[in-house]
Amino acid sequence: MSTDKFILTGEALDRALPGMSLATKAIHADDFYSPHRAIAPSMHVAVNYRYSRDPANLKYMENHDPNAPHDSHIYSRYTAPNATRLEKVLQHIFGAHVVAYSTGLSAFQGILLLLNPKRIFITEGYHGVHGVIDLMARLTGLKKMTLEEVDQAQAGDIIHVETPVNPTGEVRNLAYYKEKAAACGAYLSVDATFAPPPLQDPIQFGADIVIHSGTKYVGGHSDMLCGLLVVNPEREKEGWTTTLKKDRAITGSVLGSFEAWLGIRSVRTLQLRIHRQADNALKLVQWLAEEMTKPDSVVSKTIEKVQHSSLQHDAIQEGWLAKQMPGGHSPVFSIVMKTKAQAQCLPSRMYVFQHATSLGGVESLMELRALSDKVCDERLIRVSCGIEEAKDLQVDVIQGLQSVLKDYLELAIQDKVLVVRTLIGLQREKSETAVFDATEGPIRHKCHKVQCSKFATGCPTEAALSEHLAVHDRPFRCPHADCFRHRIGYPSPKRLESHNEAFHHSESRTKVVFPSDLETGKWNLYEAYKAGDLNEVKRVHREGAALKSILSKIGSPLCAAVEAVHGSICQYLVYNGVEPFHGGSRSVTARTPVVAAMYRERWEILEFFLHSGNGPSDPELAKNIARAIHANSPAALNMLLSIRNSGDNADVIKLVLGEIISQTYLRLIRKDDHPINTTLIHTWFQYFKPEFYNEKGAFIAQSDCAEYKTWGDIIFRQANCLHRALDARSYSFATFLMDIGNDENI
């Protein structure tokens, strides 16, 4: 019996690795890379490494460490521990030498520097690649031709094929393009970013060099930039890898140590993630394709087409697609919506899918691709599936499409209503006015917006309707492209002028007197608010000043900016995370920046607050509606009401009822306030329940009306509002309640 002890060596492991699976290689390929016994690799941030202390061992561009033969370095622009270790693991995964770069585009530039072609044949694909080609064309005269012209290729040209294609996820036949390249002596380069191992191996189909944006699936967590080149073993013999690394050192496009360390962490789970992501995409695409055949499906009503390699039926039938993609289909596909407006809305309606560019991370993404690729169809949405539960992704798509469809149907109804009412108007002009008046009543000029209260009641004159429609259309837009009022303007030039005065004027008309006893270190910041000096505010902020701090006697910086009517500073603070709906004073907890704008009548700033971020939540909206009523401020109330459609706002109505009473109980209103105006309470209630009022604003709801009975029960029985109003001595609110109540309720 042999007594020899078995001790695993790095050489023995290297011999065994080719017979292991991708998942095992990803975890164990670098077991002997470092002499250190730590299971998890350390991150090395050193830029330079000490030469040998023995003069006899000093050699040009060599710094061999006998204690770490695989981990010997000179300068991190040449090689570094984390990046070299990542390349070693990837070499076993890809089955060929790998050169890592700082980004995918720097890797593509590495190909062009290596081969220096006169022509490159490329059609679809990532717009950044085309940008690199254009850059090289300025330097070398590189000519770009399409893949449809591939028969014109000659020796030394590059045939560059992206497969699967960005952004559709469809696959191109590599065997076909390899045959074309071989026939003329051209090089075949392949961008396989959308199908990394284990889905596809272009080297097996004759690719000379393969590029991956490691930012995507190799990184897999949306937290690192990386580019990879995989060199065909036959080209490795010609010295391609050595040249690529020399060029990389000169251009400085080396992968950073931190990114390489993240890459090692990420690549361990590559196979698990890719299989899950590909499976999720396939399930979604199959479901979408099936739903597209159903006329009544929300999918078929909103989506024009779905694009994915699993839907390339001819390629599947011919057999080449399954051979080229033996590990499954890409986790990326695209949907083309029926309209541009639907495409713009859908990504923002999702709960699980994030609206962002890039792909390959564990989270699922949707991107309106035209936002980053100017030549892309404006209706196309690129979908990158993450590792969430497939059912959750499907449910998210359904609810998102339903939300978009609802908006689309409302717009369609509005368009048809506008046509019908125009025809009625033309017919009225042709007919006897007396006849029309007898059958239809006096002319009412009605708004075609279905959600608007004027949709039913209309306006008495055409001029009044035009003025009303301007509130919807808001044609007077701010000329500053980065302003929140650039896309959604104002109904009148006077309002636009007020906006420009508040947000784009160097001197404020109002100044705030600041106490002289400010804490040390706070003076510069508050002086900047006082002067309206946005550049000074930015400077002090960069130096570490807290934008959310609250000082006694002054309140928050945002409240101070409101007081001084410095709209540009308000905008800067909000965009940097200061919340306008939250408290701005230690002494008065209810004095938020929104309330300050309301009481100081800073209408342009108040409107900005109301439209910032996602706007106020239901409780925040209700609290500020009650505040506007207590402040006897019709202007503020109208602004608050305009940010929500009238109609289905039952929760807000209930909250406002409680807030009016609560704010009276707590005496949050100012000491000099007059009793609240009953008319304003009716204005609020009429906005949300227009069917209860006539065109003159009189309450006309009938006691036997089902809707009135429902709300009567809520207001008078469930919420007990009348008793609570009298108990709080809110007599104006009690008067409103008696106006809308009947004998049974009161």
The 10s digit of each residue's pLDDT in 636-652 is 998 888 887 655 578 88
Residue 576 pLDDT: 83
Q: For 534-553, what is the mean pLDDT?
A: 73
Residue 523 pLDDT: 47
Higher pLDDT, 264 or 708: 264
Average pLDDT across the chain, whole number: 85
The answer on pLDDT for 673 being more than 60 is: no
669: left (phi over 0), alpha (psi -120 to 50) or beta: beta
Q: How distant, in Å, are the alpha carbons of 9, 295, 722 from that of 292?
A: 57, 7, 54
The answer on pLDDT for 308 being more than 60 is: yes
Which H or E run contains 229?
strand 227-231
The answer on pLDDT for 487 being more than 60 is: no
Show the tokens assigned to 500.
């420009």
For residue 189, list its beta bridge partners.
160, 209
DSSP assigned state of 331: S
The answer on pLDDT for 543 being more than 80 is: no
Of 142-156, 173-187, 355-369, 651-665, the poorest mean pLDDT is in 651-665
Show the tokens assigned to 740.
């809308």
Of 510, 536, 507, 538, whose CA–CA distance to 524 is shortest?
Answer: 536
pLDDT in tens, 45-78: 999 999 999 999 999 999 988 888 888 999 999 9
Show the tokens assigned to 712.
């009567």
Which H or E run contains 337?
strand 332-337
d(CA 425, CA 348): 39
Show the tokens assigned to 359.
């792909």
Of 239, 229, 251, 243, whose CA–CA distance to 135 is shortest?
Answer: 251
Report the CATH fold assignment for 474-615. Answer: 1.25.40
- What are φ and ψ of residue 443, in 5° steps? -65, 130
Q: For 132-139, what is the mean pLDDT?
A: 95
Kindly compute the dihedral angle of the four CA atoms of residues 425, 426, 430, 434, in this order, to the nearest 10 degrees.
0
Reported confidence tier of residue 420, pLDDT bands at 50, 70, 90: confident
Higher pLDDT, 615 or 103: 103
d(CA 78, CA 73): 8
What does the radius of gyration of the chain's CA atoms come to, in whole angstroms? 34
Helices 567-575 and 534-542, packing angle to 10 deg:
30
Residue 508 pLDDT: 38
Q: For 318-346, what is the mean pLDDT?
A: 95
Let me know if domain 11-159+189-268 sits in CATH 3.40.640.10.
yes
Residue 687 pLDDT: 86
Count of residues making up the chain:
746
Residue 23 pLDDT: 95
Using CB atoms within 10 Å of the CB of residue 569, give its burial: 0 to 12 exposed, 13 to 18 middle, 19+ buried. Answer: buried
Q: Helix-strand-coil percent breakdown of the chain, rounded to 5?
A: 50, 10, 40
- Return the CATH superfamily for domain 271-401: Aspartate Aminotransferase, domain 1 (3.90.1150.10)
Q: Are 33 and 40 in contact (CB under 8 A)?
A: no
Q: For 363-380, what is the mean pLDDT?
A: 92
The answer on pLDDT for 260 being more than 90 is: yes
Residue 103 pLDDT: 97
User: What's the predicted TM-score (pTM) here?
Assistant: 0.62
Of 345, 348, 352, 347, whose CA–CA distance to 395 is shortest?
Answer: 352
3-class secondary structure, 355: strand
Higher pLDDT, 616 or 476: 616
The answer on pLDDT for 674 being more than 60 is: no
Of 11-15, 431-435, 498-502, 507-511, the poorest mean pLDDT is in 507-511
Q: Are 217 and 362 in contact (CB under 8 A)?
A: no
Q: For 219-226, what is the mean pLDDT?
A: 97
Residue 412 pLDDT: 67
The answer on pLDDT for 607 being more than 60 is: yes
Q: Are 215 and 196 in contact (CB under 8 A)?
A: no
The answer on pLDDT for 509 being more than 60 is: no
Strands 354-355 and 380-384: unpaired
Residue 510 pLDDT: 38
